Chain A
Amino acid sequence: MSSATAMPAVPPGAWRVFAALLWRDLTVSRRELPFFLVRTTLQPLLFTLVFGFVLPKLRFVGVTYSSALLPGILAMSMALSSMQSVALPMVMDFATNTLEDRLLAPVSLNVLALEKIAMGILQGVVAAIVVLPLARLMMGPIEGLSLTHVPEIAAIGLLGTAVFSALGLWLGTAISPQQIGLVFSAIVAPMMFFGCVYYPWKGLDALPVLKYLVLLNPMVYVAEGLRGSLTPALPHMAIGASFGALVVLTAAIGALGFRSFERRSIP
C-alpha cells in the first residue's frame, strides 16, 4: 500500500476500459446463461408452440401463417432480450448504487453507456441464435424461408438489437424498481401486440389508422425488416424503409438513453 506509486497519472485508453467493462458483463452473463435463456426465449418459444404448431395442427390458422410468424417471433426474442438485459440490471444497479465502481472508472460516461448497448446487442443476438433453429424445428418446413440474404439479416438484426438496447438504457435510467412491472405492462406489452410480430404490416391495410399508428413502434421495423430478409417472397415493408427507420430510431433513442444515463449517473 505504498503511495510511491507505480500507477501512471494518465488514464488508460477508452477502449481498454471498454474491454474491461465488457469482460465483467460477459463473466456475469456467462454464469447467468441458463436464467438468461429461460427469461428471454421461453415466451417466444411458447408463442411458437401455440401459433406455429398447435393452431396450424388444429387448422385454426393456415400453415402459411408460420412464414409470417417466424420473423416476428425472432424480432420479439431479440428485442425483449436486448431491452431486458440492459434495463433490468441497470434499474437495480442505480437503486442500490452498485454501479459506483464502474462510475468511478477513469473513462467518459459515454463509454459506459456504449458498453451497455454493446452487451444488449450481444444478448439479443444470442437469443435469436437460440430461438431461430428451435422455432424452425417446431414449425416444420416454412414456406419462403431463405437464408441467402445474410448481410440484410445481419444488418436488421444488429440495428434491431441496438434500438432495443438503447430503449433499455433509457428505461433503465428512467424508472425505479417499483415501476418495472408497470413499464412492462404499459410499454412492452403494447409494443409486442402492435409490433407486427403476429401479422405482417401489409395485413393492416384493412385498418388504415392502426396501420400508420404502429409506425411509431420500433418493433414494426425489426419484424418487417426480418420478413424482408428471411422470407423475401412474402409481403413485407420495403427493406430500405425498415433499415432507414431503424437507423433514425437507434440514433434518436440512443441520444435519449445516453443523456438520461449521464443525468442519472451524475446528479
Chain B
Amino acid sequence: MAGAAQPARAGVVALDALDLEISEGELFGLLGPNGAGKTTTIGILTTRIRPTSGTALVAGADVSKESVLVRQRIGVVPQRPNPDRNLNARENLAFHAAYFGIPLRLANARARQLLEKLGIADKSEAKVEHLSGGQQQRLMLARALIHEPKVLFLDEPTVGLDPHARLAIWGLLRELHASGTTIVMSTHNMEEADRLADRLAIIDRGKLLAVDAPESLKRRAPGGTLIQLSLDGEAMGALAAARSLNGVLRAEAQDGTLNAYSQRGGELIPALIRAAEQSGRTVKNIHLSPPSLETLFISMTGRNLE
C-alpha cells in the first residue's frame, strides 16, 4: 500500500448508486445544487459518514473496512471552517500534524511554511475567532495539507467567501493540482467547476447525471440560448404553443417555469410571452443564458443549479 502510485478511486457510493472513478492527479469536481448529495458523497469518501451499502476506495483503501488507512492518506477542507477554537492558528496546524504522528519540530516548521504560503503568517498566534472567514478557510486548507495527503477533498470550499478570497483559494488549488495532488471538490458554482476541474460529475438528488470534462459537457448542452419565463402559475398550458414557435429548438415546462431553447437569441421573447398569456398566465420574470454547464443542468433536471 506504500508509495504515491495508488490511484484514487471511488466505487459505488450509497447515495442512489453513484458510480465514479477518479484518477490520480486529477482535479475532479462534483457539481450539483444544494441537496444533490455532494456533501454526503464527500462525507462517505472521507470516512465521516457510514455508507448504507456499496463500496468506496480512496487511495487504495476501503472507506468502511480500512478507514484509518483512508484518513492517513486524505486531507479534508470542510464546507464551514471548523478550527479547534481552544488553539491558535499555528497550534491548529501543529496539533493536527501531531495527530498524524509528525514530530513537533517538523510540525511547527511545516505550520509556519503553510501559514506563509497561504498569506496568513501574521495571524500565526492569533485566536481563530479573530480570523476572517477567508482566513479561516485558508487555515482549513493548511490543516488539510500539513500531513501531505495523497488526496485532498474540499466540500464547497468557497461558499460564503468574497470574490478576492475565492480567487486566492482557486489559485492555491491550481498550484496544488499542478504539483500532482489529487483533488476532489464539490461545488454548486458553475464558474468554479468550469474553471478548475479536469472532469466534472453532475449530480442531482443522489443520482449521477453526467461525467466528463467541462468542455465536452458544455458541448452537450442543448444548442441555442435558454430563455426562462417565470409565470404566475402552472406553465404546462403554454408548452404546446411555445414548442410550435419557429426557432424554438426545444421547450419544457416545470411548475411555474417555461424553459425554451432559442435559435434566435432573445428575438423569440415577445412570441413566448404571447404564448404564456394565451394560456391565461402572466410573465413575472425573464432570464436568458447562453449554452453552458448551467443550461446543460437545466436541460437534464428542469431546475437551476443555484
Chain A positions within 8 Å of B, measured between CB atoms, are 1-13, 16-17, 20-21, 23-24, 27-28, 31, 96-98, 100-108, 266-267
Decide: A100 near B68, CB < 8 A? Known: A8-B2, A16-B101. no
- Nearest chain B CB to A151 CB, angstrom units: 35
In the complex, A28→B100 CA distance in Å? 19
Taken together as a complex, chains A and B put the C-alpha atoms of A4 and B180 apart, in Å, by: 8
Q: Are B99 and A10 in contact (CB under 8 A)?
A: no
A residues less than 8 Å from B46 (CB atoms) = 104
Q: Is there contact, CB below 8 Å, between B68 and A107?
A: yes
Bound together, the chains give a CA A20 to CA B100 distance in angstroms of 9
Could you give, for residues 133-160 of chain B, a 1 whenever the CB lies within 8 Å of some chain A CB and a 0 otherwise?
Answer: 0000000000101011110000000000
Residues B145 and A104 in contact, CB atoms below 8 Å apart: no
**Interface residue tally for chain B (C-beta within 8 Å):** 47
CA distance A267 to B40 in the complex (A): 11
Name the contact of A98 in the complex, choosing from B74, B84, B91, B180 (C-beta under 8 A): B84
The interface bits of chain B over 70-97 (1 if a CB of A lies within 8 angstroms of the residue's CB, else 0) are 0111101010101111110001100110
With beta carbons under 8 angstroms apart, the residue of A4, A16, A101 that contacts B143 is A101
Q: Give the one of A7, A8, A104, A108 with max B CB within 10 A.
A: A104
Number of residue pairs spanning A and B whose beta carbons lie under 8 angstroms apart: 122
A-B contact pairs, 8 of them (CB 8 A): A1-B175, A1-B176, A5-B148, A9-B150, A10-B2, A11-B72, A20-B98, A23-B98
Residue among A11, A13, A96 having the largest count of chain B Cβ atoms under 10 Å:
A11
Say yes or no: A1-B145 contact (C-beta < 8 A), given A9-B3, A101-B96.
Answer: yes
A residues near B143, Cβ cutoff 8 Å: 101
Per the bound structure, the CA–CA distance linking A12 and B96 in Å amounts to: 13
- Contacts A11-B69, A12-B100, A266-B49: A100 and B82 contacting too (C-beta < 8 A)? yes
Contact with A along B185-205 (1 / 0, CB 8 A): 000000000000000000000
> Which residues on the B side are within 8 Å of A2 (C-beta)?
148, 179-180
**Chain B residues whose C-beta falls within 8 Å of the C-beta of A105 in the assembled complex:** 71, 99-100
Q: A103 to B43, alpha carbons, bound, how many Å?
A: 12
CB-CB under 8 A from B148, the residues of chain A are: 2-3, 5-7
CB-based contact A106/B100 at 8 Å: yes
Contact B180 A17 (CB under 8 A): no
Contact A5 B4 (CB under 8 A): yes
Contact check, B82 vs A97: say whether CB atoms are below 8 A apart: yes
Would you call A21 and B145 a contact (CB within 8 A)? no
A62 CB to nearest B CB, Å:
46
Q: How far is the CA of A8 from the CA of B103 in the complex (A)?
A: 13
How far is A73 from B123 in the complex, measured between Cα atoms in Å?
45
Q: A98: shortest Cβ distance to chain B, in Å?
A: 5
Q: Which residues of B contact A8 (CB under 8 A)?
A: 2
Contacts of B147 in A (CB 8 A): 7
In whole Å, how far is A65's beta carbon from the nearest beta carbon of chain B?
41
Q: Please give 17 more A-B residue pairs, beta carbons under 8 A apart, in addition to A106-B69, A106-B99.
A: A1-B114, A1-B117, A2-B180, A4-B179, A5-B150, A9-B150, A10-B1, A11-B69, A12-B101, A17-B100, A27-B87, A27-B95, A97-B82, A98-B83, A101-B92, A107-B99, A266-B48
Separation of A20 and B175 alpha carbons in the complex (Å)? 31
Indicate if the CB atoms of A17 and B101 lie closer than 8 Å.
Answer: yes
Residues of B within 8 A of A267 (CB): 49-50
- B71 contacts A11, C-beta separation under 8 Å: yes
Instruction: Give chain A residues whose Cβ lies under 8 Å from the Cβ of B99.
Output: 17, 20-21, 101-102, 104-107
